[in-house]
Amino acid sequence: MLKQRVITGIILVAIVLAALLLLPPTVFAVLSLVVIVGLGSWEWAALVGYRFMPQRLVAMLPTLVLALLLLLMQPPVMPVVVVGVMVWGGILGLLWHYRQHTRFYRDYLWLLPMLGILVLSIAWYALSHLNALSVGYVLYVIGLVAVADTGAYFTGKRFGKVKLAPELSPGKTREGAYGALALGTIWAIAGALVLGFSLGQSIAFVVLSLIVVIFSIAGDLFESMVKREAGVKDSGQLLPGHGGILDRIDGLLAALPVFSLGLWWIRSGL
């Protein structure tokens, strides 16, 4: 399993790097729409109860339509990511109050499908605009989420004792979250130097990066909550050793709008 996971991970990294470095922004936007919005909404539809193909195809349509409207109309990115950050603020509240065996999501069947529509389409739009701005920003935020995830895994495995969110994901610990923040800080300092920010911008960039790490953990926990409600371990089986697309991008779905909004503020205000 570990060997399979590593091989799949290497292939994924190679594909993402090739797409970012070789494709024009418009082509990358379309390709990432297919992967994030298309495949992501396919998996999301199954998680929220649409298990049969006709149902899943219909359930995908609102997310695809919204993403295509964003692609064709190209509205200003800031209002879109502000909505995304507000959505994730609401999700943080849902995570905080979550209890196993709750009937809340059965009583409000529309909630998780609606959140999926917004989360997937807004994250994709933020990614496509970051890529148009600079490939370096995309590589940075993907690396930040990956580094934080790695720090959380190894720190939690070695020192983890206190559960971070036992109702949502028993394997995650507070010590793991501290490891994610610590490694994320190192990555952020290096990123600020490479990206050429001033001292004031660099301080703000590090703070922003730590906020992004926190939201990426929330993204992971949110997918865990949705999978728990669905009674499944993985969002899909597309990626050997990794599960589905959503299992790989859950942290990025939360990180992208937060990073985009913070980066805009840093670039325009400092």
**pTM of the predicted protein model:** 0.94
Copy the structure tokens of residue 109: 């069947």
Average pLDDT over every residue of 150-172: 91
Q: Which amino acid appears at position 260 of this protein?
A: S
Report pLDDT digits (tens) over 116-155. Answer: 999 999 999 999 999 999 999 999 999 999 999 999 999 9
Identify the pLDDT of residue 9.
Answer: 73
Identify the pLDDT of residue 160.
Answer: 87
Identify the pLDDT of residue 269.
Answer: 72
The C-alpha angle with vertex 144 and arms to 245 and 19, in degrees rounded to 5, equals 55
Report pLDDT digits (tens) over 3-39. Answer: 666 677 788 889 999 999 999 999 999 999 999 999 9
pLDDT at 208 over 90: yes
Rounded percentage of the chain residues whose pLDDT exceeds 90: 80
- Delimit the domains of the chain by residue range: 2-269
Report pLDDT digits (tens) over 219-248. Answer: 999 999 999 999 998 887 777 766 789 999
For 113, residues 6+ apart whose C-beta sits below 8 A from its C-beta are 44, 45, 48, 59, 62
Computed over every residue of the chain, the mean pLDDT equals 92
What is the rounded CA–CA span in Å between residue 125 and residue 218? Answer: 20
Copy the structure tokens of residue 16: 């993402």
Identify the pLDDT of residue 260.
Answer: 97
pLDDT at 270 over 70: no
Give all strands (DSSP E) within the chain, no chain letters. Answer: 163-165, 169-173
Helix (H) or strand (E) run with residue 56 in it = helix 53-73
Number of helical (H) and strand (E) elements in the chain, helices listed first: 11, 2
Copy the structure tokens of residue 106: 């059965």
Give whole-number Cα distances, 79 to 167, 250, 260, in Å.
33, 22, 11
Q: In 3D, which of 130, 157, 156, 154 has the Cα closest to residue 212?
A: 130
pLDDT at 111 over 60: yes
Copy the structure tokens of residue 9: 């991970």
